[in-house]
Amino acid sequence: MNTNKTKKIFIDTDCGMDDIIAISMLLLDTGTFIKGISTVRGLTSPIVGANNLRKILRYLSKNISVAAGSSIPINPTRQTNRFPKQDIINSSSLSFLDDLIGKTIRPVKTTGFCIEDYIFKSTTGGVDFLCLGPLTNVAKTINRYGDRFLKNINRLIIMGGAVFSPGNVPPQKKAEYNFFLDPEAANIVLGAEVPKILIATDATRYVPVSTKSKKEIARLKPRKRACKLIQKIITANQKDFNYFYDPLTAGIIINPQIATQSKKVALQTSIGYLNLGRCFLKNNQVNINLVTKIDKGKFFALLSQNLK
């Protein structure tokens, strides 16, 4: 990727705490232009996530359109699949950010799919599509528009899955939450004929959130509002995220050299009860660039830059 050119990005997110860090990092990057954001069911409901993002963007003085997407997985029975209850409460309330972004919530209405409003109007060359939550919105848009949608996408950049490394869904930890919440959607997106970069637990395991790093971050005195937001979320983190999942994904967009090793694979996600959401290698044509190793020094250096 030519880092001298502005990267046009559309973001789909479940607006968890580490999602907000990732979005803030991209807003701080002068080489990235966010065209729009949609929200999906995950750590928040789409409407709560959209409300929270609008408050955050208002605090950051950023004029970016946000719309609430789908709250129903491809297979509606998957609505029983959830993140831990306390994680949902923490990401939904964001009470620890009240002193920064305020308490006022401006209600929004579910608008269905806002994705096509931005993708179909994109300029020549299309956009990178960043997926930070369950893949429900993206899968439904692919089902609805097919190649008309995909031809406007340079590539899908996906945070999700666990391939060669353990996942984070207890008790077996075979699956990762984004794929676990909507495994059918994951299969649709993973099989789409468009370039894909997958940042799974294989990569995120290199960037744990340690007590030492939290203490070091707490001592900093950031000046920019986005930097203050990042600091506040990291220091308020009470095991809501044990690794920098979405921030690593944003970091690789900003500085591709953070990803030092990758493997071309074809994947499918299990929809069986015992292995729900688990990734399996397929033998057909490879179409996914799985990041398998990162330069954690470069990632943490970038994160530190975003805290000044």
pLDDT tens-digit map of 13-55: 999 999 999 999 999 999 999 989 999 999 999 999 999 999 9
pLDDT bracket for residue 241 (50, 70, 90)? very high
C-alpha 308/C-alpha 306 separation (Å) is 6
Token pair of 11, please?
Answer: 């973001």
| pLDDT over 60 at 106, yes or no | no
pLDDT bracket for residue 111 (50, 70, 90)? very low
- The interaxial angle of helices 17-28 and 46-59, nearest 10 deg, is 40
Residues sharing a CB contact under 8 Å with residue 246, sequence separation 6 or more, in sequence order: 13, 16, 18, 19, 21, 22, 132, 159
Token pair of 268, please?
Answer: 């499918």
C-alpha 220/C-alpha 142 separation (Å) is 43
Question: Considering the entire predicted model, what is its pTM?
Answer: 0.93
Kindly report, residue by residue over 161-212, the tens digit of the pLDDT: 999 999 999 999 999 999 999 999 999 999 999 999 999 999 999 999 998 8
CA dihedral defined by 138, 140, 143, 144, rounded to 10 degrees? -110
Under 8 Å between Cβ of 159 and 275: no
Classified as helix, coil or strand, 265 is strand
On the 0-12 / 13-18 / 19+ scale of CB atoms within 10 A, 74 is buried
The fourth-level CATH superfamily of domain 7-305 is Ribonucleoside hydrolase-like (3.90.245.10)
Residue scoring higher pLDDT (113 or 114): 114
